[in-house]
Structure formats: C-alpha cells, structure tokens
Amino acid sequence: MASDHDDGSPLSAFPLNEGALGGVAAFAIGYALTYLFVTIDSELDYHEEDSAFELIGIVFYNAHFVDGVFSGSIEGFIDGTERLNLLAEESTQFPEPFFYLLPVVLLVACGYLVASRALSPSASPREGAVAGAAVIVGYLPMAVLGTFLFELSGENTVFGVTFSGSAGPDQLMGIIFVGLLYPLVLGSLGGLLSRL
C-alpha cells in the first residue's frame, strides 16, 4: 500500500499505522528473543527466578544502554540505590555485543520493512528515512510501558538472596534511549536503506 504524496511534504511519507504496528512488533520480538537467548545462555539463569519477566526486561533495556536502578537492600550487596547494567556485570555464554546488536538489527529491519510497504518504489531516500522513523509510533509507547512492567517492588528472592525494595529500568533513560533515540535513528536508517 503506497502512501499519498500529493502535498510533497516529508510528513506525507510518515505511515502511522505501519509504523505503530512495526514498532510494537520490533519491541515485542526484541524482548521475546532476549528472553529466549537468556534462557539458552547457561551463564544467565534469570529464567529460573520468580521475577524472570522483570529481570529479563531489565536486560532488554540494558541492551539499549539503559541501566537498571536497584533501590533497597540485598543481603550483602546493595543498601541504598545502585545502577547496574546486568549485561556488563554478568558473564554471558553469548558474546555481550550480541545482546546489544539485537535491538539495532530489529529496528533497522523494521524501518526497512515499514518504508518498503508504505512507500511507492519511486519514493526518495528522504521519504524512506521519514517512513522508517515511523516505528517510533509503536516503539515509544512500548518503551514507556516497559519501564513500569519490568519493575520489581516489595520483597523478592533473586538468585537465592532476599531482595527488599524496588528494581527496574531507569525510567528517564528508558524513554530517551529506548523510546526515542533507538527507533528514530535506527528506523530512519532502515527506511533510508530501503530507498537506495
């Protein structure tokens, strides 16, 4: 389905529906693949924890260079507030860059697909970049929602240690990096590549 380019403005190439669907899909697939690879990775045994959903969500945000914020007390580890990137702190069976490349590849591919589906073959590279950036429409709300969904609070047992307090992705950085910068830059790159 090609977009209507009658007015010639760059925003006429901004496919809201395709971008929203693509952005939500990229986020969901990114989280699901992170969950799968953490489950396969014998060094990261988060999938066996009661709080696996949230911990792996924090790892997913870590893959976007967003720290987890741990507040409260963990016996012998934290008393107060600590910022941690679990990917950087833990050893992994998969090379660490693998986790960082996962959202990059997904968002570039998503931007490419959105622009390819939404634009006519004669669309310019600029229109492709604008169309690819439309993934922000779906990725941003998911990123904001994830900062709340991947939050732990109360008393939990993590790795056999009692944790009292809260943990989750850094909300401000989660919105800026995960919700805005990643989909805007990488989606645009994918859309641009679709027109070259």
- For residue 47, name the pLDDT band (cuts at 50, 70, 90): low
- For residue 91, name the pLDDT band (cuts at 50, 70, 90): confident
Tokens of 180: 């805005």
Mean pLDDT of 76-95: 79
- For residue 82, name the pLDDT band (cuts at 50, 70, 90): confident
pLDDT value for 1: 45
Query: φ, ψ for residue 187 (rounded to 5)?
Result: -65, -40
Residue 129: pLDDT above 70? yes
pLDDT value for 162: 67
Q: Which amino acid is at 156?
A: N
Give the chain's length. 196
Q: Among candidates 159, 153, 148, 158, which has minimal Cα distance to 72?
A: 153
Mean pLDDT of 125-153: 96
Q: In what order do the strands lie in the sheet with 68-74?
A: 78-84, 68-74, 161-169, 152-158
Mean pLDDT of 2-15: 56
Mean pLDDT computed over every residue of the chain: 86
pLDDT value for 51: 81
pLDDT value for 13: 63
**Other residues' Cβ atoms within 10 Å of the Cβ of residue 53:** 15
HEC letters along the chain: CCCCCCCCCHHHHCCHHHHHHHHHHHHHHHHHHHHHHHHHCCCCCHHHCCCHHHHHHHHHHHCCCCCEEEEEEECCCEEEEEEECHHHHCCCCCCHHHHHHHHHHHHHHHHHHHHHHHCCCCCCHHHHHHHHHCCHHHHHHHHHHHHHHCCEEEEEEECCEEEEEEEEECHHHHHHHHHHHHHHHHHHHHHHHHCC
- The answer to which of 12-16, 57-61, 106-110 has the lowest mean pLDDT is 12-16
Question: How many alpha carbons fall within 13 Å on the CB side of residue 72?
Answer: 16
pLDDT value for 80: 74
pLDDT value for 4: 43
Mean pLDDT of 142-161: 82
Q: What percent of the chain has pLDDT over 70?
A: 82
Residue 73: pLDDT above 80? no
